[in-house]
Amino acid sequence: NNQNGRKVVKSRHLSLIYENIMNDLVATMLEECSLEGPGGILLSDLYRLLEVKSGAQIDSRLQDALWKRLRQVKEIRFQQRTDDDQSLSTFDDPPEKLAPNGPAQIWLVASKGMRMMTLNIHKQSGLPEPSVRILEAVARSRHHGILQSAVSKDLGLDAKTVFHYLKPLKALRLLHFVPISLQASGLQRSGRTNLMRLPRFQPRAAASDAAHDEHGEG
């Protein structure tokens, strides 16, 4: 009886560990999906991102298990697109199992509410739409960040108004700005701009320096 009891306890313990691991993996996938913005992310790319971020090998069995859990997330919309993105359909009821090499590709798009929550945007923040677009573009860049000088061109915004849309993002500390110098190719002169990242992707050393600057330390 004692031996059977220990087996039951061990089994429950292993089940709990498995559930915790799966919950962490799904949470990571939802975060990565949200960071991709309204365009969503290809399912196969999401698995690759998960491998890099978790260090786990996401084999076909684990993919099946994760897919079954993702299907239950109401904040995710599932779309089927062809290679040229010309054909698009949204699943009302995602299939339980996917064909690994089907003619169309599966994309996941996080709801606006989930995307805003991931970006730490609250309803009361009242951010203008261009500010949200800038924030979503920076989020997609992850650790690489985006140059402030390139925002107007990349997003089709008037260069004269970009600062106006960046100002609330800086005030709410939704973006981290790192001043950098740019050397124009073939020219002697250089310019200055900011590299913008989400705070979560800011290197620790730089984030620590910024905290010291804000509090007047150092």
Alpha carbons 141 and 114: distance in angstroms, whole number:
18
What's the confidence (pLDDT) of residue 6? 72
User: Is the confidence at residue 87, as pLDDT, over 70?
Assistant: no
Distances (CA, A) of 60 to 72, 120, 148, 175: 19, 33, 41, 37
Find the mean pLDDT for residues 79-91.
75
The tokens for 57 are 């090998």
Q: What is the pTM of this model?
A: 0.82
Tokens of 31: 């975060």
pLDDT at position 116 is 95
Q: Mean pLDDT over residues 76-101, rounded?
A: 76
pLDDT of residue 90: 85
Instruction: Compute the mean pLDDT over every residue in the chain, rounded to the nearest whole number.
Output: 85
Longest dimension (CA), the chain: 83
